[in-house]
Amino acid sequence: MNRAALALILILARAQDPLAEEMAKALRSIRDTVGKSVVAIEVVRGEDPEGDTGGGPAAAHQDYYNRPLGPVTGTILTADGFILTTAFNVSGEVKRITVTTADGRKHEAKRLGADRKLDVALLKIEAKDLPVLPRAKPGEAKVGDFVCVVGRGPDISVATVNQGIVSALTRRGGTAIQTDVKVNYGNVGGPLVNLAGELIGITAHIYPRAHWGQSSGVAFASKNEEIDKVLEDLKKGKDIAKPVQGPWIGALLGEPRAGVEGVPVDQILPNSPAEEAGLDSGDVIAAVEGKTVKTIDEVKAALAKKKIGDEVELTIRRLKRDGKTWEEKKMKIKLAENPN
């Protein structure tokens, strides 16, 4: 790099300093104001099948596929002590839940209902005059808007803040907003807010084996208006099961390409039926149950005729080692429920 280019970079960096400082001030303000409505939740468990650890000696070894020990996050919903968090955060055999509010007070909490589709759960503590976040208007969020997630943990005395943008508005059957905010086991259950500090939704859908992982650049928040639809049921203690999703092979498919007959396989998801059967990224699905397929929708329609647990026969084309010629083979894949 020559001196002129380096000097230009330094000039631009200095010019952006005021803008960066203003953004930092805004984020600190959000942390301090929104953080008053964000609580730390400590859960004592027995069995924990979803998180692969019961919190005892077996939990000493932590990895990507284990729920970490330590506090998780919740969001105050009402001044009289209703608190939202994720269903995952309070799943398993729960023995005790302790909520710590921003002022340091500890409260024993009762788990009420949960909705698995939205991945939200409702807790109740005995309190009054709790700070509640203002709400954004339904549909106000737009793709490209700056947003933040506020959480608590591992140091529950200080709120955390992560920022990003809205990247999609109608994920997970239209119930969730997608962002690129870094969401993890600690801050999931916290509020997704706009730069005015208004609540857009509750961050959710972090699982040990979700194929997008945690902090992968893809995060979801269940929308306020979707949570409102089930809130009365949650208050009554109702657990709403997640609808069965499937049948599923665990492969991400691509759009047809010029010169390729069939539907390309872009990615094989880990621990999926496709991986077990030996389907590879780069393969092309030419037929399902002997019927030629040319689009993703045709593959989906063929799979939809089957049931979870059925075997489906795929005809695939795979490039030989020379990278020029294709070989055709058949394989059977046992269909499973879509875990996502």
Domain boundaries, the chain: 30-240, 251-334
Name the nearest CA neighbour of 191 among 25, 38, 29: 38
Rounded to whole angstroms, what are the CA distances from 107 to 91, 102, 104? 19, 12, 10
Beta strand 110-115 with 239-240 is parallel
pLDDT tens by residue, 16-55: 567 677 778 888 888 899 999 999 999 998 877 777 644 4
pLDDT range class, residue 271, cuts 50, 70, 90: confident
Question: Per mean pLDDT, which of 55-59, 155-159, 232-236 is the most reliable?
Answer: 232-236
258: burial class by Cβ within 10 Å (0-12, 13-18, 19+)? exposed
Q: Please name which of 170, 153, 193 lies closest in space to residue 40, comparing C-alpha atoms.
A: 153
pLDDT number for residue 233: 96
Residue 126 burial (CB count, 10 A): 10
Element (H, E) at 12: helix 3-34
Where is pLDDT greater, at 28 or 5? Answer: 28
* DSSP assigned state of 135: B
**How many beta carbons lie within 10 A of that of residue 127, not counting itself?**
18
**Residue 277: helix, strand or coil by DSSP?**
helix
Query: Which amino acid is present at 77?
Result: L
Q: How far apart are CA 47 and CA 315, in angstroms?
A: 42
Tell me which range, 6-10, 56-60, 104-108, 239-243, is most confidently predicted by mean pLDDT.
Answer: 104-108
Q: Which CATH superfamily does the domain covering 251-334 fall into?
A: PDZ domain (2.30.42.10)
d(CA 46, CA 91): 11
| Mean pLDDT along residues 290-297 | 91
The DSSP string of 263-276 is EEEEEE-TTSHHHH
Rounded mean pLDDT of the chain? 86
Mean pLDDT of 60-70: 64
Residue 153: both structure tokens together? 């943990």
Token code pair at residue 317: 């084309």
Query: Which is it for strands 263-268 and 159-170: parallel, antiparallel or unpaired?
Result: unpaired
- For domain 30-240, which CATH number applies: 3.40.630.10, 2.40.10.120, 3.60.15.10, 1.10.443.10? 2.40.10.120
Mean pLDDT is lowest, of 4-13, 157-166, 272-281, for 4-13
Higher-pLDDT residue of 336, 51: 336
Q: Out of 21-25, 109-113, 173-177, 222-226, which region has the weakest mean confidence (pLDDT)?
A: 21-25
Give 60's pLDDT tier (boundaries 50, 70, 90): very low
113-139 mean pLDDT: 95
Average pLDDT score over residue span 242-269: 83
Tell me the pLDDT tens digit for each residue of 198-231.
999 999 998 765 544 455 678 999 999 999 999 9
Q: ω before 256 within 30° of 0 (cis)? A: no
For residue 291, the cross-strand partners are 288
- Mean pLDDT lowest for which of 51-60, 128-137, 272-281? 51-60
Amino acid at 71: P
- Nearest Cα neighbor of 34 from 161, 155, 178 is 161
Burial 192-205 (b: 16+ CB within 10 A, else e): bbbeebbbbbbbbb
Q: Is the pLDDT of residue 309 over 80?
A: yes
| Sequence-ordered list of residues with C-beta below 8 angstroms from that of 179, at least 6 positions apart, any chain | 147, 149, 164, 165, 166, 167, 192, 219, 220, 221
pLDDT of 1 = 47
The pLDDT confidence band at residue 164, using thresholds 50, 70 and 90, is very high
Percent of the chain scored above 70 by pLDDT?
Answer: 86
Task: Give the per-residue pLDDT at 232.
Answer: 96
pLDDT above 70 (res 13): no
